[in-house]
Amino acid sequence: MDVSKLLRQSNYIWQIEPFGNMHVPAVIYASEALIHDMDDKVYQQVTNVATLPGIVSASYAMPDAHWGYGFPIGGVAAFEPDHGGVISAGGVGFDISCGVRNLHTGLDFHDIMTVQKKLADALYRDIPAGVGSTGRIHLDSQAMDEMLSRGAQWAVDKGYGTSEDLERIEEYGCMKDAKPAQVSALAKKRQQDEMGTLGSGNHYLEVQHVVEIFDEEIASVFEIKQDDIVVAIHCGSRGLGHQIGTEFLRTMAIAASQYGIALPDRELACAPVNSPVGQDYLGAMRAAINCALANRQIITHLVRETFAKIFPQTTLPLLYDVSHNTCKVENHIIDGKPRELYIHRKGATRAFGPGHPDVPAAFHDSGQPVLIGGTMGSSSYILVGTQESMSLSFGSACHGAGRSMSRHQAHRQWQGRQLIDQLASQGIMIRSPSYRGVAEEAPGAYKDVSAVVDAAHQAKLAHKVARLEPVICIKG
């Protein structure tokens, strides 16, 4: 992206003044170097979002912004229903409530390295992942609707985890006002065999090593320290979420004109919040959030079982679970007044700061953990939400690093087998059913997550706490 098209507000804040049909400015949080590397379509998409009805304050892009479907990935936008505000299926994405959760292990680097291969093989065997995989749980119609209504709370009631886990999940594990009746039969059928599965592509389960602490005080609150081993689970709402995204994108694209919405891009398909389509999507999307939360909860249980076979004393308590493809109703202060807004975070993570009522008691004084996933072979980060982010980005931060090359290019540049061997020589054990899949996920195919996280830190969207490196990576 040509930085001369932007107004520099600071080294990490760039603005595009409204032009054409934009109702509000666009704001991009990034270093100048990251701006240079951003594709031009981010400019187009972040300004397109600013044209949508009822948008409040600005259309935001996070430091990891790259082109998406309508909204940029790394896009944040808030809408007010009383001013014709919309809800957009494209503003949430196909993988509704894709997210990351981190589990403590109580183990250190040395503990893991003595059993690295055994643990990698066990996790690969025990955690269903990839195309064709099937979960252990098959839901009938009633169970499906209960799961969609209650999310991780349902999973805990079924014996997957403990009530203590719920305290450490956004929405305490259950997105309220979900409407299973708005989820189609096709979506439910697509999910029937997929509960407790990891998916594929950029999803993963990683055993990670804490290699650097940036803030000892917050790290202490999060109960992490140098050399700790943490488990990270990155996945979302699986087939159900994908199907809901597919169906409502179509419905909204067709219905937009009847609501008087001129879409600059069909992918920005949306409907007024206060419309039947908008309400139907809201109910279905919330059900999909619950599906993702339940899914990660079941996988957590499976991971705990696997670890217990090798480390019988471990319990793997949950640090936190964040989602990064959602639309949530939140209260934010705008011009000194509280307003109820519909916050779209598309490839962006909630990053609430200290004192926010939605942050669990354990993190009340610190702010919530913000978990930023790296890629296979690269660093992941733990950050903490800031007070500043509430006014900068509706309490939002980045979610990872986008791709720097296509899957096709990555497949031509790297050989999966060689990559696995190379990463193994660096102490990282990869397990995947597909060499081609590994090649497409090569660390070099992604942007530098450290640069993205530094920019988020410098822009005060979130504050760095720790850096982690993978030791074991399970891919689907």
**Residue 130 makes contact with another protein by CB under 8 A:** yes
* Among residues 4, 110, 114, 132, the one that binds another protein under rule CB under 8 A: 132
**Residue 201 makes contact with another protein by CB under 8 A:** yes
Q: Fill in the per-residue mask, 363 to 402: x = in contact with another protein (CB under 8 A), - = not in contact.
A: ----------------------------------------
Of residues 399, 411, 457, 463, which has the active-site annotation? Answer: 399
**Residue 337 makes contact with another protein by CB under 8 A:** no
Q: What is d(CA 394, CA 91) in angstroms, rounded to the nearest whole number? A: 15
What is the nearest approach in angstroms of another protein to the Cβ of residue 193? 8
Secondary structure of residue 236 in the 3-state scheme: coil
Secondary structure of residue 248 in the 3-state scheme: helix
What is the nearest approach in angstroms of another protein to the Cβ of residue 94? 4
Residue 375 CB burial class (10 angstroms; 0-12, 13-18, ≥19): buried
Rg (C-alpha) for the chain, rounded Å, is 21
The angle at the Cα of 475, spanning 471 to 476, to the nearest 5 degrees, equals 165
Do residues 185 and 198 touch, judged by C-beta distance below 8 A? Answer: no
What is the nearest approach in angstroms of another protein to the Cβ of residue 437? 4
Question: Which alpha helices (H) appear in 265-367, and where do they start and end?
Answer: 276-310
- Reading the block at residue 186, the tokens are 């096709």
- CA 169 vs. chain centroid, Å, equals 13
Q: What is d(CA 166, CA 24) in angstroms, rounded to the nearest whole number? A: 37
* Among residues 47, 59, 102, 200, the one that binds another protein under rule CB under 8 A: 200
Q: Which range, of 9-17, 249-257, 359-367, 390-398, touches another protein by CB under 8 A?
A: 249-257
Q: Which range, of 166-174, 235-243, 346-354, 371-379, touches another protein by CB under 8 A?
A: 235-243
* Among residues 80, 170, 267, 469, the one that binds another protein under rule CB under 8 A: 267
**Residue 260 makes contact with another protein by CB under 8 A:** no
**Residue 266 makes contact with another protein by CB under 8 A:** yes
How far lies 247's CA from each of 26, 86, 253, 271, 335, in Å? 29, 17, 10, 14, 37
* Among residues 3, 13, 115, 186, the one that binds another protein under rule CB under 8 A: 186
Query: Is 324 noted as a catalytic residue in this protein?
Result: no
Do residues 388 and 10 touch, judged by C-beta distance below 8 A? Answer: no
Q: What is d(CA 352, CA 356) in angstroms, rounded to the nearest whole number? A: 6
Q: Fill in the per-residue mask, 268 to 297: x = in contact with another protein (CB under 8 A), - = not in contact.
A: -x----------------------------
Residues near another protein (CB under 8 A) are: 69-70, 93-95, 130-134, 186, 189-190, 199-201, 239, 242-243, 245-246, 249-250, 253-254, 265-267, 269, 406-408, 411, 433-437, 440, 476
Residues annotated as catalytic (active site), given as ranges = 399
